[in-house]
Amino acid sequence: MLWLIALALGVVIVYLAVRYGRFRNWVEPVLSVAVALGLAAAFLIWLSEGTPEQAPSPRPTQTAAGLSASDIALRNLTFEPNEARRSYRVRGTIENSSAITLEYFRLTVTLEDCPDGKCRRIGDDTALILLRVPGGQSRPFETFLTFPFRADEAPVTPKWSYQVSQVRGATER
């Protein structure tokens, strides 16, 4: 509601500045100070509301303590170069062998270039994959990864290694 009042006040000030020359002479410095004060107030509000110590922590829902990365299997992973030269599209299937529903997992991938049997590590990337997979089922997934290399250092013979680095499950409600 306060922003509507500020908008209306702004429209009135602009109208008066256009209509009356004397008003125009002092309205610019006043508006400059008002905008600076408004930005400072917004920054202070953002600081006071944005600190994690003061933010109310969400009540934990029933989480599945029994789900682990060993319950998750990745099958048929493919790595395809994307339009951006440093980006790759990853497709595959995830199988949940647990009885607990998977909510999400993190996939950590390492890219190496191995021409002539000598491997040079290019980099790692981790993707958060939000995918609900009930226990005992599998689902396809797709994500994108980006690796830091110069255009003239593009991998000739890429070698991929990957692991599920984090899982989160929930019990059915």
Q: Is the pTM of this model over 0.75?
A: no
Q: Which residues contact 120 (CB under 8 A, 6 or more apart)?
A: 112, 113, 114
Residues of the domain holding 45: 2-50
> 41 and 108: one domain?
no
> Is 62 a domain residue?
no
pLDDT digits (tens, 9 = 90+) for 7-53: 787 788 778 878 877 777 777 777 788 788 888 888 878 777 754 44
> Is 57 a domain residue?
no
Exposure class string for 73-95: b at 16+ Cβ within 10 A, else e: ebeeeebeeeeeebebebebebb
> 120 and 162: one domain?
yes
> 77 and 156: one domain?
yes
Q: Would you tell me the crossing angle of helices 2-19 and 21-50 to the nearest 10 degrees?
A: 160
pLDDT digits (tens, 9 = 90+) for 135-173: 889 999 999 988 877 766 777 888 889 998 888 887 544
Looking at the 3D structure of the chain, how many domains does it have? 2
CATH number of the domain to which 166 belongs: 2.60.40.1620
> 103 and 133: one domain?
yes
> Is 55 a domain residue?
no
> Is 104 a domain residue?
yes
Q: Residue 60: is its pLDDT beyond 50?
A: no
> Is 61 a domain residue?
no
> 86 and 164: one domain?
yes
> 87 and 42: one domain?
no
